[in-house]
Structure 1
C-alpha cells in the first residue's frame, strides 16, 4: 500500500503543519489518504499535470501579491478537489506571509487537506521524503509478497494442498477466500469461522461466478457486494474451466497482493487439473463398472464402488440418461462428482457415448433436476427398477430422453410416455411415409372429387364405429356416413368392420399427425 499523508506530515525534518481544526473523524480520514507522489506548481490550473492521490505544493505566485481578502480561492480548490488530489501544501514567506485564511476556508469547505510548508523546507525535500516513503513501501510489499508466496508454496505440499493453499492465502491477505465449483456452487471458504457475507451478497457473488463460468473462457471481474470490493477469477484452462476463486475484504488488492493471488490461481488451477486427470481415470473405471452392472454382476460393482465412492444406491433405483454435449461434458462430470461426495449412496453415474447414465436413489431426483436446470440439459428417467432389470430400465430412460428432446430442457419420465400409449409413438418415428401411402387412395379421391371421406373416417373411428354419433358430430345424415365409410373401405381395400383394419387406419392417421386432414 502507498504511504499516507499522516506519514508524510510526521517526517521530523520537514516541519509540515496541518492547518485547520477538523473533527477527529474527519481529521483521521484526511490523514489516512494515500500519497502517490508530490508535485509542485504555481499554475492557476495545474490539474492537467496532476493525477489522483498526489500532493500539490504551491507558493501562491499565481494569485499575485494582493491581500488575501481580494482573492477568490474557491475555483482553484474546486479544480484540485475534482482531480482527486490528496492534499495541498502552501509554502510560506515566499510570496505571502503565512497561509491565506481564505485559502484555508476554501479547502475546509471542499474537504481538501491543507498543510503549511515552512520557508526553511524546500519543496524538493518534501518530494524526496515522499519518494523515500513510496520506495520503502514498495520494498516492504515486495518482501511481503515473496514471504507470502513461499508460505503458500509450502502449504501446497500438504496432503490437501488446495484447501491449505487457499487457507494460507486468506491468512496472508487478511481477506476471506471462497472457491466456487464448476457449477458456481460455493465449495469451500476460508476462514470459515469469520465468513460473515450476507445471503444477498453471497447470491450476488454466486451469480457473477456462474456468469464467468458460462462464458467458458478465462476471465476475471470486480464487483461490489455487501459493502466490500470483491475480486473473482476463473480457474482452469481455456474452454476447460474448473471453478472460480473469489476474494473479499475491507480494502482492494494492491499490486503486491495481486501478484500473490496470481500465483495462487496458478497453483489452484494446477491442483484442479490434476484432480481432473484423476477424474478422467475414475470416469473410465465408472464406465467399465456400469457395463458390468448392466451385465448383471452387481456384487463386483458394489465392492469396487464402496471402496472408491461409497455404496451403490439401494434398489429400487431409477435409471436416468442425460444428453451431455462435448463442450460441457467435463463440467457436467465435475458437478456430478461433487454431488456424489455430498450425497454418498444416492448416485452412481458413468459416461456412455454422448450421454451420461445415472442410477439414482429416489431421494436424488432433485440432483437430476438441478443438473438439467444448471446446464440446460434433456434427461429421461425410467420407472423404479431392481438391478437385475437395469437393461430394461436403461431402455426406458433412453425413450424418455428421446421424448424430452422434443421440448425444452428438463426431465421426462418414462411413466409419462407410457401413459400416452404405444400408438402415440408413431408420430415421432419414420412411419409418416407409410401412413401417407396407406391413406393415399382416400386422399386422392377427396382431392379429385372434393369429398370428405378421410375426415368422415376419422370422426367415425373416434366414435367407436357408431354411425349416429359420427353423423351428429359431422352434421350430416347417418346414411351419408355409412355411404362414405363404404367408399373408403373400397379405396383402402380394407374391411373397417374388423378391429385390425380400424387400428391400422387409426395408426396411419396418427403417424401423419392428422396433417392430411
Structure 2
C-alpha cells in the first residue's frame, strides 16, 4: 500500500504530531523534499511531503500566499521542524494550511529530517517491490491460464481480477469474443472509433482512454501487417504501471495464441481458393458437400458476386468484415482468393449485399465491384463482371461499382479524361491548323459524323453543297492519314471530337 501522512504519524519512532486533525491525511506520498525557499513549487512534481523549519517565512513572508503556492504545486503535506527558532509562525501557518486543506505535522527537534526521508523511501521501495511481485505473480498465473482449454476466457478472467476491473477480447472486426465479466461485452460499440484508428496502424499498437472515473487501455493483437484482434481493459481510476505490465503480458499471450492459428488460416485459405476454382468449373454439388463439412453452407442462387482488389492486408480485413456482416444477418457467405482478388459470394436476395456496403469504409483504399444476379452455371461470368467493375472503380474512390452501371453513362465514362484529351489534341492538330487558315474542317467532320456519314442532311445543316462537304471530309482524312470510310477511324475521330466532360 502507498505510504501516507497517517502512516508516518502512526510510526512511534518518528514522534510526529498532526497539527491539522480536520484535514484528510490519506493521500499517497510520492517523495520527501526539504526546502526553505519562499516558493519551492517549481522544483516539485506533486505528491511530496515538504519539510521546512520556517526560514522561508522569517523575513515577514506572508503565510497565506506561501501555503497557496504549496497547494497549487501539488504538495501533499507539510512537515514543520520545531525547536529551531522559527516557532512563532507555526500557529499562523497551521491555520492557513488547514483552510487550504494542506496537512501539517510537527517534526520535533529530536527527529532528523533524514529519518523521515529514509522511512518514506523504504516504504516506497517496499510498495514498489510488492507491486512488481504482484505483477510477476499475475503474469505467471496468466501464463498458466493461457495453457488451459478455453484459454482466452481463462486469461481474460484472471486479467480482470488482477487489475480490479474488466477485460474484453474482440476480433479484428471489433465483435466481442470473450468478456470478463460477461457484461463487459456491452462496451464494444463504444470502442469502435478507437479500434478503427488502431486498425490503421501496424500491430501491436495501443491507446489509453483516461477519464476521472475510469481508465481504459486498448491494444491491437497481431504481428506485422494484419491485426488479428483487440484487447480492451478498464478499471476505476488510473491504471498503475505494474498493472500495465500485466496487461502487456496478457496481450502477448493472446497474440501468441492467435498467431498459432496462422498456419491453419493459410491452409484454410488455400482450401477455399481450390473450392472456388471448382465452383467456377461447375462443380457446385461437390463443393457444397465439402462446405457443409466445414460447418458452413453455400449461398442459394441467384448469387451476388463481389470482387475486392487491394493489398493482402486489405483482403484479409475484408474477409473479417464480410464474415461479421454475414453473421449479423444470419446469411450464408462464401469467400475465397482468386489470383490477386478476393471473391465474395452471397445470396442476391436479402439484406446482406446491401450490408456489405460497409466494406467501403471499413476497408478504405480497396476497389470493389459487384455483378448482377447470376446462377451457379454463370458464376464465371459473374466473377468477370464484378472484377471489371472493380477495375473501373480502382483509384476513383467510387465505393462499390456495379457492373450494370458501367454502361449507363456511355463509353466516355470508361475513358481517362486526361489521356483522352491528350489523344484528341494530337489527332485533331492537323485539322485545327488547317482551320486557322479558314478550312472549317473540325466542325464539318463533327456534323458529318453526327449524321452517320450521310452527305445530304449533314450538308444541309452546314448550309453547303454536298460536294463541298465531300471535299472537306476527304481533305480531313488526308490530313489525318486515315480512311474515314473505315468504322474504326470514324470511332476514333468521334471520341476525339467528344472527349469526356464535353457536351
Superposed pair shares fold, TM > 0.5: yes
Distance 1:283 1:403, change over 3 A: same
Counterpart CA distance in 1 for 2:160 and 2:43 is 39
Counterpart CA distance in 1 for 2:398 and 2:210 is 33
Distance 1:102 1:280, change over 3 A: same
- The correspondence of residues 267-346 of structure 1 with structure 2, limited to 5 A, is 267-326=253-312, 328-339=314-325, 342=328, 345-346=331-332
SS in 1 for 2:228: strand
Asked if the contact 1:441/1:491 (under 8 Å) is kept, the reply is: no
- Deviation for aligned residue 1:155: 2.0
- Deviation for aligned residue 1:413: 0.4
Distance 1:402 1:49, change over 3 A: closer
Counterpart CA distance in 1 for 2:186 and 2:429 is 76
The aligned counterpart of 1:496 is none
Per mean C-alpha deviation after superposition, the further-off stretch among 30-39 and 9-18 is: 9-18
The aligned counterpart of 2:372 is 383
**Any idea what the Cα deviations from partners look like across 1:286-338, whole Å, max 9, x if unmatched?**
11111111111112221222232511112111111111224544434444455
Counterpart CA distance in 1 for 2:307 and 2:438 is 49
Are residue 106 (structure 1) and residue 96 (structure 2) matched?
yes
Counterpart CA distance in 2 for 1:196 and 1:368 is 23
Asked if the contact 2:326/2:352 (under 8 Å) is kept, the reply is: no
Which residue, out of 451, 470, 477, partners 2:439?
451
Counterpart CA distance in 2 for 1:120 and 1:238 is 62
- The correspondence of residues 256-267 of structure 1 with structure 2, limited to 5 A, is 256-267=242-253
Which residue, out of 57, 66, 71, partners 2:51?
57
Distance 1:383 1:314, change over 3 A: same
The aligned counterpart of 1:208 is 194
**Any idea what the Cα deviations from partners look like across 1:168-190, whole Å, max 9, x if unmatched?**
21221122223454355666543
Counterpart CA distance in 2 for 1:198 and 1:112 is 42
Distance 1:481 1:222, change over 3 A: farther
The aligned counterpart of 1:371 is 359
Counterpart CA distance in 2 for 1:225 and 1:254 is 14
Asked if the contact 2:420/2:499 (under 8 Å) is kept, the reply is: no
The aligned counterpart of 1:137 is 127
Counterpart CA distance in 2 for 1:321 and 1:513 is 35
Which residue, out of 404, 412, 416, partners 1:415?
404
Unaligned runs of 5+ in 1: 494-499
Counterpart CA distance in 1 for 2:221 and 2:188 is 24
- The correspondence of residues 338-487 of structure 1 with structure 2, limited to 5 A, is 338-339=324-325, 342=328, 345-362=331-348, 363-376=351-364, 377-405=366-394, 407-420=396-409, 423=411, 427=415, 443=431, 446-447=434-435, 450-459=438-447, 461-462=449-450, 479-480=463-464, 482-483=466-467, 485-487=469-471
SS in 2 for 1:116: strand
Unaligned runs of 5+ in 2: 478-483
Are residue 87 (structure 1) and residue 81 (structure 2) matched?
no
TM-score (norm 1): 0.80
TM-score (norm 2): 0.82
Distance 1:195 1:289, change over 3 A: closer
